[in-house]
Amino acid sequence: MADWNPALYTRFEDERTRPAAELLARVPLDAPRLAVDLGCGPGNSTALIAARFPDAAVIGLDTSPAMLESARARLPGLAFALADAATWIPERTPDLIYANAVLQWLPDHASLLPRLFGLLAPGGVLAVQMPDNLAEPTHRLMREVAADGPWAAAIGDPAVAGRLGRVLEPSAYYDLLAPLAAEVDVWRTAYHHRMADAAAIVDWVSATGLRPFLDPLDPEHRAGFLDAYARAIDGAYPPRSDGRRLLGFPRVFIVARRAP
């Protein structure tokens, strides 16, 4: 895919940061020496970690040069580096591996999460939050619109473009990590974000889940796809009593702690 757009991503920063803060609040650590923000994006989650653990060394990692540039501008006193969560091996053993809204992009969670957990220091914590919205209208309509239009050939299989099947049930993550961990906490929360209109919902997903559908398209087909998708979103998310739209957004949370 093309590189990420930090400006578009941070347009809804308050809404995106809320689950990051709620994940961090459940991390059972007092004074980690090293905390790694895996998939740090523009640094909004990294800032939360640094504020909670001011004495820790905090490192932000991402695959996007644009996101890393934005994070460095936001937090010039912290360290950021290019790295892929799928293959990353730390130079120093971390006490906290914090992965907010990143692992849903990667396959084979049955191997990935135990591997990341195994990188922790004794007593360390793996904290993960992932969108679980592939069945929501935003993502169902991506696949439907992708399959029905002159852009279909360029996009290919909508299920592949939409990253179907990446996120497991919360109970599956518990079963993966419970034999390895001293404690495992898993939960699922459905947020309902107030959005100004249907166009705002399209803007939201254009920064994330819609990217694999848009990136292969030329300008003409991209405009046509977005127009068809926006009309479908307008019908799927009707105005509420105050004229706003409610964007349902389920997320899965995992906090697993190694034995001391």
Q: Which residues of 155-183 are buried (b: 16+ CB within 10 A; e: fewer)?
A: beebeebbbeebbbebeebbebbeebbee
Domain count across the chain: 2
Q: Note whether 105 and 221 are same-domain residues.
A: no
pLDDT at 120: 98
What pLDDT, on a 0 to 100 scale, did the predictor assign at position 9? 58
Query: Looking at residue 182, what is its pLDDT?
Result: 98
Residues 2 and 106 in one domain: yes
Structure tokens at 249: 């957004």
* Shared-domain flag, residues 110 and 227: no
111 and 100 together in one domain: yes
Whether 64 and 143 share a structural domain: no
The CATH number for 191's domain is 3.40.50.150
Give the DSSP letter of residue 2: P
**Domain CATH code at residue 155:** 1.10.150.290
Identity of the amino acid at 187: W
Residues 11 and 121 in one domain: yes
pLDDT of residue 3: 52
Do 51 and 174 lie in one domain? The reply is yes
Give the CA distances from residue 239 to residues 135, 137, 203, 236, 244, in Å, rounded to whole numbers and listed in that order.
21, 15, 17, 10, 5
Full pLDDT tens readout for the chain, 260 residues: 555 556 655 677 788 889 999 999 999 999 999 999 999 999 999 999 999 999 999 999 999 999 999 999 999 999 999 999 999 999 999 999 999 999 998 999 999 999 999 999 999 999 999 999 999 999 999 999 999 999 999 999 988 776 666 899 999 999 999 999 999 999 999 999 999 999 999 999 988 889 889 999 999 999 999 999 999 999 999 999 999 999 999 999 999 999 99
Q: Do 96 and 210 belong to one domain? A: no
What's the Cα-to-Cα distance from 183 to each of 23, 31, 131, 230, 257, rounded to whole Å? 15, 18, 23, 43, 5
Same domain, 109 and 120: yes
| Cross-strand partners of 186 | 254
Instruction: State whether 51 and 64 are in the same domain.
Output: yes
Same domain, 160 and 171: no
Q: Name the one residue in this structure whose structure tokens are 């004074």.
A: 31
Residue 64 sits in the same domain as residue 175: yes
Strands 183-195 and 57-62: unpaired
Please state whether the predicted TM-score (pTM) of the whole model is above 0.85.
Answer: yes
Beta strands in the chain (DSSP E): 34-38, 57-62, 79-82, 96-100, 125-131, 183-195, 245-257
Which structural domain range is residue 146 located in?
133-164+197-243
